[in-house]
Structure 1
Amino acid sequence: MTTPTAHPPRAAADSRRPDRVRPGAGPMVLGVRHHGPGSARAVLAALDAAEPRAVLIEGPPEGDALLPLAADEAMVPPVALLAHAVDDPGRAAFWPFAEFSPEWVAIRWALAHDATVRFIDLPAAYSLAAAADPSWGDEEDVVAGEEPTLRVDPIGALAEAAGYDDPERWWEDVVEHRGEPDPRGRAGPPDGVLAPFAAIGEAMAALRERYGHGGHPRDLLREAHMRIRLRAARKEFGDEVAVVCGAWHVPALTARSTATADRALLKGLPKVRTETTWVPWTHRRLARLGAPPGRGSGGGYGAGVESPGWYAHLFGAPDRPVERWMTKVAGLLREEGRMVSSAHVIEAVRLAGTLAAVRDRPLAGLGETTDAVRAVMCDGSDVPLALVRDRLVVGDVLGEVPDTAPAVPLQRDLARLQRGLRLRPEPAERELELDLRKDNDAARSRLLHRLRLLGVGWGRPEAGRGSTGTFRETWRLRWEPELHVRVAEAGVWGTTVLSAATAKAESEAVSTTALAEVTSLAERCLLAELPDALPVVMRALADRAALDADVGRLADALPALARSLRYGDVRATDTAALGGVAAGLAERICVVLPPACTGLDADAAAGMRGRLDAVHSAIGLLPQSRELGGRWVDVLRGLVLRDTVPGLIRGRAARLLLDDGRLAEGEAARLMGLALSRGTAPTEAAAWIEGFVGGASGGGMLLVHDERLLGLVDAWLTSVPADAFTDVLPLLRRTFSAYEPGVRRTLGELARRGRTAGGPVRTETGVPGFGAGADERRADAVLPVLRLILEGERV
C-alpha cells in the first residue's frame, strides 16, 4: 500500500497556477486529530493547494535533525520518534507516526517538495525532566491562582453538542469519512480544502473560551513554545508557513500574544540532556492508549487508535473502500478454512451500506462493516470475528528504520546479532524451538538469555513439548517497541550484548545478598554462557551459602544449582566450581532439614513438602549423587520414623523412599498401617495419606496396583468416626481430586466390588490389568518401544 504523497519537486511546480490557495493574512494552521486518515487526506490536499515554504509539525524540536530520514526508502511506517534522557535512558517518550498520520503525511510532503520542515512542540529536554519532577506537570495547581478544572474531552463535548452519544462515531462522520471515496467510486464532496480546518478551529475556539486549558495546564507551556517557534518561522518565510498540530491547540496558536509573555512561561523550567532517534513501531502499539510502560514518560502522545489496520485501509484505498475491505476479510477467513464465497462479499457490502443509511452515516464505518461481516461471513459468531479484528482491524504490522538512524552501540550490536542468527524481530507472538546441539540454535539461546539478564524481555522460556531432553529449549518471542528503551537502558553496562550482560551479572553478584537470588544469577550466567562473570558469581554464591543457615533458603537454592549443572554439561561449560558449591549446600541441608521439619503447622508443612520434593530431585542430578544419596536416604528414613514430624511430611518421605526402591512394599504397608491406626488422630492420618499418595505424583496408580495399600485406606476411611469425618473430608478431597479421571474411575470400580472381611479390596481374577500377580510376558512387550524412545532422545 502506498501513501499518496508522490508529487513533483517544488522547483518543477508552477507557483503561478490560478487554482493555488494562498493562506491569506497569517500562517495556515491545520488542526488535526493525531492518526486520523481523514485528517491526513485533508492535510495533503491543503498542502498541495497552498504549497507553503515551511511546514511546522507538533513534535519535539530535538528530532529536527532526524526528519530527512523520513524520505529514506528504508523508512517504513509505523515508526516513532524516541527521546530519552542521556543519564537515565529509562526516562523516555515516544511520538508515533503511521502512514495515515497527518503529521507523517506533512513531513513526507515537505521533504518531497523541498520545503523546510521543523518540530515546534515543547522540547523533550523539558518534558522528560517533568517525568521526574511533577511539580510543573499536568497537575491542577501548576498554574498559580487558577481554580482546579476537570479535564475536558474536546471531541466528546462537540459530539454531545451535535447529539451523538459516541465521540468516535461523530468524529468519523464529520472528519474521517469526509472526502473519502464514495462507495460507488464517485469523488467526495467538493468543499474547499481549507473550509473543514476553519470549522474545526472555530469549534475548538468556543471550547477553549469556555474550558480554558481543559484540565491540561502543561498545554499552556507547550503552546507558548509553539508560538515562539512559529514567530521564528514567520520571520524567515513570511506567511508561507503551514502548521500541523492537534486541533485543540489551534486557538492558542492563532490568538494574540507577546514573545515576552511566552518566554516568561518557559523561564526556569528544569531540563535534561536527551538523545533522539527513530525506532520501529507496531499497529498493536498504536492500538494502546497512553505512554508505554516504564519508569517514566516525558510526553509524546498515546495513540489509542483502536483500529489502525482499518484506518490504514481507509487512507490507502484509492476507491470503493468497503468493497476492498470485505475482500480482505473474505481472503483471511478463507485462509483459516471458512467457506466464504464472492456472494458473501457482495451481500456483506450491501448490508454494510444499508446499515449506514439506516444509521444516517455518510459512509459505512467500522461498526457497520463489522456487523455485516458477523452476520454474513461469520454466521453470527464472534469467534471468527475476533480473528478479523486481531489480523485486520488491528494487524501485525511492524515498521522499519534505516540503518543510518542514530542508535546506541548496544542496539547496533544487537541488530548485527539478529541478522547473523536470522532471528528477525516480529510484532506477532511466535514460538521458537531450539536444539542446543546445533551451533546456530545454541547461539540464539545465548543471545536470548543474555537479553533477559539485561532486562530486555524479547523472549520468555516455555516448557517444551514432546521431549524432556536438556538439549531442547522452547521460547515465545514477541518484539515490542518499548524494548528499544530497555536496550538503551542496558547500554550503560557495555557496548556489546556480551560485555553488557557480563558487567551486569558481576554487579548483581556483588550487590545481591539473598542466597536464592545469587543462585538464580549463577543459573542465568550458565544459560547465557558468561565465562568471565561466572567466577565472580561463584565466589559470591559460596560466601552467601556459608553464612546462610535458613533451611528454607538453602532448599530453595539447591534445585537451581542442580539445573545449572545439568545445563552446563549440555553446553560444554566448566561447572567444577559450581558442583563443589552444590555439594556443600546439599551436605548442609542433610544436617539442618530434620530438626526444621518438627513442630510445623499445616501451611508450613505443605511448604516444606514442596522443598522436600525439590531437594530430592536436585540431589539425584548432582555429580556426587551416589555419595550424597546415601546421606539423603538416612534423612528420609529419620523423617518417616519421627513422630514429631507432621504426617504430610512423613507420608511424603515414605513415598520418596518407596519410589527409589529404598523401602520394601511390605514395609510401606506396615508404615501406612501404623499411620492409619486407631491411635492416630483422623486429621493426622489424612495428612499422611495426602503425603504418600496425594497430588499428581502417581499415587493413584499406586493404589490401583497395590491391593494392600488400597485395602488399608479403605478400611481406615470406613472406620473414621462421624464427628471427625467432616474434618477429614477436605483433606481427602484435595488428595484424590488431583488424580486423573481414569484413575478415579478405576478406584471407584475397585471400591464398588467390595472387600473381604478385614482384608483388602477384593479384585476379580481375569479382569485385564488387575491380575493376581505381575504378567511378565506383557511387561516385556513394552521394552522394544521404550528402547526406541530412549535411543531417540540420545540422538
Structure 2
Amino acid sequence: MTTPTPTPTPRATGPALLGVRHHGPGSARAVRTALDAAEPRIVLIEGPPEADGLVPLAAEAGMRPPVALLAHVVDEPGKSAFWPFAEFSPEWVAIRWALARDVPVRFIDLPAAHSLALRGDDEPGPEDPESPEGEGSEDEDSVRVDPLRVLAETAGYDDAERWWEDVVEHRDGDAFAALGEAMGALRETCGDGGHDRDLPREAYMRIQVRAAQREFGDDVAVVCGAWHVPALRQRTTVAADRALLKGLPKAKVDMTWVPWTHRRLARVSGYGAGIDSPGWYGHLFSAPDRPVERWLTKVAGLLREEDRIVSSAHVIEAVRLAETLAVMRGRPLAGLTETTDAVRAVLCEGSDVPLALIHDKLVVGDVLGEVPEAAPAVPLQRDLTRQQRSLRLKPAAAEKELDLDLRGDTDAARSRLLHRLRLLGVAWGEPARSARGSTGTFRESWRLRWEPELSVRVAEAGVWGTTVLAAATAKAETDAIAARALADVTALAEACLLAGLADALPTVMRILADRAALDADVGHLAGALPALVRALRYGDVRGTDTGALAEVAAGLAERVFVGLPPACAGLDAEAAEELRGHVDAVHSAVALLEDAGVRERWRTVLRVLAERGGVAGVIRGRCARILLDEGALDEDDAARLMSLALSPGTEPAEAAAWIEGFVGGTAGGSGGGLLLVHDERLLGLVDAWLTGVSGDAFTDVLPLLRRTFSAYEPGVRRTLGELVRRGPSESGRSPIAGAPRGFGEELDAERADAVLPVLRLLLGAGAGGGDGESRDDESDNGLEGAVA
C-alpha cells in the first residue's frame, strides 16, 4: 500500500506559488512533484536572504538533516533565531532539488538583520514564528490565528494534525490549489490574523518575486508557508511595498548552519517548530511503500530491544487492527492515531507504559543532524569541535550517562572540558550521581545531552576567547572580580580547580583571600568553607598545586571556629535553622580535612555549643548529635544533655527544637530515627517528656515534631511506632532518674514463628522423614531460641 502523492494542476501565467506546511511530508512530496513538472529556472524559498551563500553547503556529503540556519546579532549573540529543516521539510526538498540541477536558490523572507532588530530582548526566538500552523503565544490582548486549527474545526475535526493527515498526507489532488484557496478565504475573514509582522515580511517577499520575474520571466517557483500565498498573489505597487519597509531597524548579523534535533522540532514554544510527531513524519516521507507495516515493524523491534515478547503474529494482527480502525473512522489510510491504538491493544497488551517509550524513541525520536566542517563557525566552536573529536565525545540528542575515571588522561581531559563549558554557560553536561555508587574523588559522573541552542551559548561565549581554555580562564577572572559574595568566590575557586584553569587560579585566590579577610559574617564564612575543602580534594586527585588554597581554607576554618559560638546566641527560629545548616556544612568540610588539629579544635567548638545555655535549642541538639556520632560524646553524656534539654524548666518549643536538632538527622536523612530505635533510653526520655507536656504546649510543639519525624524512612517510623505502642519497660535501672530502661522487651511469639520457614530455607534445612525430620525439629527449637 503506497501513500499517494498530490499531482499539481497546470500552472497559470505567473510564478508557481507552492504554499506548504513547514515540516510536512505531504507538502514535501508535493513540492518535489511540482518542481519536476514545472522545471523552474529559479527557486525562491521563505527564509533569510543572508543565507543565500550557505545554500551550496546543503549538497555537501557531511550535511545530514535535521539542521537549522542560525542567525545571531554580531555584538549580541544571545539575540538569535533559527530556521530548521528536516529531511521531510518542503524547503529542504526544494533546496536539494535545485542544487541537483544547478538551479539558483534564493531566500526571500525579511532579512534576519531586520527581524532580529525588531524582536525585543524578552521575546523568544522561534525559527519561524509565522509558520502556517500559526504557532505562537496567545493572550487576551493579542490572539493569533492558527490557520490549521481553524480549517480543521471548519471541517468538523477536533485535531488539526488528524485533519492534515486526511486532507494532505493521504489524498490525491492539487494540495497547493486547495490550501491556497482555503487560506485566501481565511485571510479575507481574519486579515493578518494577529500576525502583525507579516505585513513587512510579505511586502519584502513580493519585491523579491518581482525581481526574479524580471530576471527569469515566469519560470519562477516560490516555496513558502501557505498562509502567505494570498498575500503574494495580491496586486500591490512597488512603492506601497517599499513604504512598508521604510524605517525598519537593522542589526549586523552572522549566519551559519547548526545541527538540529527531532526533539526540538516537537516543541511548540521557544525554538520548537510545533509538530507533534517528527519521527512519524520522517517515516512517512522516507518509507518507499507500506508505511503502516514498516512502522509497526520498527515498533516491534524497539519493544524486543526492551526484552518484551513481540512476534511476527503480533505485528500482522496490529496491521490488521490499524487498517480496520481507519475504515471504521472513515479515514483514507491508517494514521498515527490508528497505529498507536493498535500498538496499545496488540503489542502493549493495553498498557500505556511502553507507549511512552515508543513515543519518545520513535514518534519523536533522538535524531541529531550534522553539518560539514566547511560551514562558518566562530573560532570557539571550531576549538570545541576539535576537542570533542580528539576526546571521542560526540554530541548526541539522546541523553547519555558518562562515568569518568580521573586517574586516566583521557577521562581527566574530558572532565576539564565539561567543567570549562559549564563555567562558560554551555550546559552540555550536568554532574550526576554515579550509577556505580562510587563516592571516590577519582570518579565523576555526567549526564550529557546536546541541545541546538547550545550553539548560541557557544557563540555568546566566543567574546571571552578563541579557545575553550582561554575563554574559560577569562570568564573565571572576570566573574571573580565581579563577585559580591564570599561563597561565590569560593565556588569559583572550586570550579577553576575542576576545570584545570591554572592561569585563572592566582587571580581568584587573591580575591578570595581579600574577601575572606574583610568579611566578618560567620554565616558567609561557614558557607564558603565547604567549597574550599572540596576544591582541595579535587585538586589532589588532579595533581594541582593547592598550597595557597590550603592556607586560605585553614584561616577560614579558624575564623569560623572563633566566631560561631557568639553568633549562635539570641537567634530566632528561622536564623537558628539557617545556622544549623551551616554547622552541618562546616562539619562535613572539616571531616574531609586531613589536619587532626583542626578536627580536634572543631570538636571543642561543638562541645561548647552543645552545653552553652544561651544557644538555640536546634543548634545545641545538632552539636550533641554530631559529637555522639563522632564518638566524642558517650551515651551517658548524651542522655544527660537530653534530660537537661527536656527538663520541666525548659520551654516546650525550645525542647522540641532540641529534639529536632538531635534526632532530625541531616537533610532528608533518617539517622536520628535509627538512633532512637537502637538507643531505647533516648527514646524513653523523649517519650517521657512528650507525655508530660501540657495540652496547650503540645499543640504548639506538634508541627515541629511532625516535621522532625516525617523525615524518617517509612520502616523507621513503623518500628518506632511499634515500640511506642508496646510502651516502656520498667526493668533495669536507667542512669537518669525516673527514665525507663527500654521499650518492648517481651517477645511477640506469633511474629517470631512467622520467620522460621524463611530461616529454614536460608539455612538449607529441608523437610523429610526419619532422622531428617528429627533433625528439622531440633533445628526449629534452636531457631526459636535464637529468635527469642
The interval holding the TM-score normalised by the smaller chain is 0.7 to 0.9
1:157 is matched with which residue?
Answer: 150
Does residue 64 of structure 1 match 2:57?
no
Partner-residue secondary structure (3-state), 1:90: strand
1:80 aligns with 2:68: yes
Residue 760 of structure 1 corresponds to which residue in structure 2?
Answer: 741
Output one character per residue of 1:24-63: Cα deviation in whole Å (capped at 9) or x when no partner: 4111110000000000011000000111110000000111
Q: Tell me the equivalent position of 2:276.
A: 306
Q: How does 1:88-237 map to 2 (within 5 A)?
A: 88-132=76-120, 150-178=143-171, 189=172, 191=173, 195-237=174-216
Partner Cα distance (1:516, 1:753) in 2? 49
1:443 aligned to which of 402, 413, 419: 413
- Partner letter of residue 760 of structure 1? R
SS in 1 for 2:742: coil
Q: Any idea what SS the aligned residue of 1:425 has? A: coil
Cα distance change on mapping 1:577 and 1:63 into 2, 3 Å = same
Alignment partner of 1:698 is 2:691 = no
Shift of 1:113: 1.0
- Residue identity matched to 1:276: M
How much has 1:369 moved relative to structure 2?
1.0
Per the alignment, residue 568 of structure 2 pairs with: 597
- Per the alignment, residue 135 of structure 2 pairs with none
| Structure 2 Cα separation of the partners of residues 219 and 766 of structure 1 | 82
Measure the CA separation in 2 of the matches of 1:659 and 1:612. Answer: 14
Residue deviations 1:575-609 (CA, integer Å, cap 9, x gap)? 11111111121121122211221122222222111
Using the TM superposition, give the Cα deviation of residue 348 of structure 1 relative to its aligned residue in structure 2, in angstroms: 1.4
CA distance in 2, matches of 1:697, 1:432: 30
Task: Tell me the alpha carbon deviations over residues 736-786 of structure 1, each in whole angstroms, 9 at most, x when there is no partner.
Answer: 333334444444454426311743115759999xxxxxxxxxxxxxxxxxx
- Cα deviation digits, residues 373-399 of structure 1 (max 9, x gap): 111111111111111111110011011
Q: How does 1:47-58 map to 2 (within 5 A)?
A: 47-58=35-46
Deviation at 1:177, TM superposition (A): 2.0
CA distance in structure 1 between the partners assigned to 2:145 and 2:689 by the alignment: 71
Q: Which residue of 2 aligns with 1:331?
A: 301
Between stretches 473-482 and 685-694, larger displacement belongs to 685-694
Q: Cα distance, 1:461 vs. partner?
A: 0.4
Shift in alpha-carbon separation, 1:737–1:158, aligned structure 2, 3 A: closer
CA contact (8 A) 1:204 1:251 kept: yes
598, 601, 615: which one aligns with 2:586? 615
Q: Where do 1:456-535 residues align within 5 Å?
A: 456-464=426-434, 465-535=436-506
Specify every segment of 5 or more residues in structure 1 that has no aligned partner in the other structure, as ranges.
6-18, 140-147, 179-188, 293-301, 769-795
Call closer, same or farther: CA 1:481–1:764 in 2, change over 3 Å: same
Out of 687, 691, 710, the residue aligned to residue 718 of structure 1 is 691
Q: Which one of the candidate residues 484, 501, 522 is aligned to 1:551? A: 522
Aligned-pair CA distance for 1:227: 1.1
Deviation at 1:697, TM superposition (A): 5.8
Q: Tell me the amino acid that sits aligned with residue 512 of structure 2.
A: L
SS at match of 1:257: coil
Residue aligning to 2:290: 320
Give the counterpart letter for 2:657 in structure 1. Answer: A
TM-score, scaled relative to structure 2: 0.88
The 1-side partners of 2:681 and 2:360 are apart by 57
Quick one: structure 1 residues 342 and 643, their matched pair in 2 at CA, closer, same or farther if it must change by over 3 Å? same
The Cα shift of 1:511 comes to 1.2
Q: Distance in 2 between matches of 1:678 and 1:229?
A: 90
DSSP-derived class of the 1:331 partner: helix
Distance change >3 Å, CA 39–CA 542, structure 1 → 2: same
Structure 1 CA distance for aligned equivalents of residues 152 and 655 of structure 2: 70
Q: 1:427 corresponds to which residue? A: 397
Deviation sequence 1:264-309 (CA, Å, 0-9, x none): 21122111111111111100000011333xxxxxxxxx41111001
Q: Distance in 1 between matches of 2:402 and 2:121?
A: 42
| Aligned-pair CA distance for 1:259 | 1.6
Q: 1: distance between equivalents of 2:246 and 2:290?
A: 53
8 Å contact kept, 1:23–1:239: no
> How far did 1:354 drift?
1.6
Aligned ranges 1:655-694 → 2 under 5 Å: 655-694=625-664
Alignment CA distance shift 1:521-1:133 (3 Å): closer
Amino acid of the residue matched to residue 539 of structure 2? G
Q: CA deviation at 1:683?
A: 2.3
- Residue in 2 aligned with 1:781? none
| Paired residues of 1:54 and 1:242 also in contact (CA < 8 A) | yes
- Structure 1 partner of 2:319: 349
Measure, in 2, the Cα distance between the counterparts of 1:621 and 1:329: 51
Instruction: Report the equivalent of 1:562.
Output: 533
Indicate if the aligned counterparts of 1:277 and 1:406 stay in contact, CA closer than 8 A: yes
Equivalent-residue separation in structure 1 for 2:186 and 2:248 (angstroms):
28
> In 2, are the aligned partners of 1:583 and 1:622 still within 8 Å (CA)?
no
Equivalent position SS for 1:618: helix
Whole-angstrom CA distance in 1 between matches of 2:181 and 2:480 = 62
Give me the identity figure in percent.
Answer: 74
Return the letter of the residue paired with 2:376.
P
Partner of 2:611: 641
The amino acid of 2:29's aligned partner reads: R
Q: Quick check: 1:57–1:117 contact (8 Å CA) kept in 2?
A: yes
How many residues align? The count is 720
SS of 2:377 mapped into structure 1 = coil
Which consecutive unaligned segments of at least 5 residues does structure 2 have?
131-140, 732-737, 750-788
Residues in 2 aligned to 1:100 and 1:214: alpha-carbon distance in whole angstroms: 27
Contact 1:714 1:761 in 2 (8 A): no
Tell me how far apart the structure 2 counterparts of residues 455 and 58 of structure 1 sit (CA, whole Å).
33
Matched residue type, 2:261: T
Instruction: Give the alignment's Cα RMSD to 1 decimal.
Output: 2.4
Instruction: Give the Cα–Cα distance (whole angstroms) in 2 for the partners of residues 24 and 697 of structure 1.
Output: 79
- Which sits farther off after the overlay, 55-64 or 247-256? 247-256
Whether the 8 Å contact between 1:460 and 1:476 is mirrored in structure 2 is: yes
User: Contact 2:8 / 2:176 at 8 angstroms: preserved in 1?
Assistant: no
Deviation per CA, 1:58-87, whole angstroms, max 9, x where unpaired? Answer: 000111001011111211110001111111
Matching residue's letter, 1:277: T
In structure 2, C-alpha distance between the alignment counterparts of 1:25 and 1:491, rounded to whole Å: 50
Deviates more, 1:505-514 or 1:669-678: 669-678
Q: Which residue of 2 aligns with 1:776?
A: none
Q: In structure 2, the residue corresponding to 1:627 is in which secondary structure?
A: helix
Separation (CA, whole Å) in 2 of partners of 1:693 and 1:389: 46
User: Which SS does the other structure have where 2:636 is aligned?
Assistant: helix
> Aligned equivalents of 1:484 and 1:406: distance in 2?
12
| Whole-angstrom CA distance in 1 between matches of 2:237 and 2:360 | 49
Q: Equivalents in 2 of 1:687, 1:203: separation in Å?
A: 71
Q: Does structure 1 retain, via aligned residues, the 8 Å contact 2:8–2:175?
A: no
Match of 1:253?
232
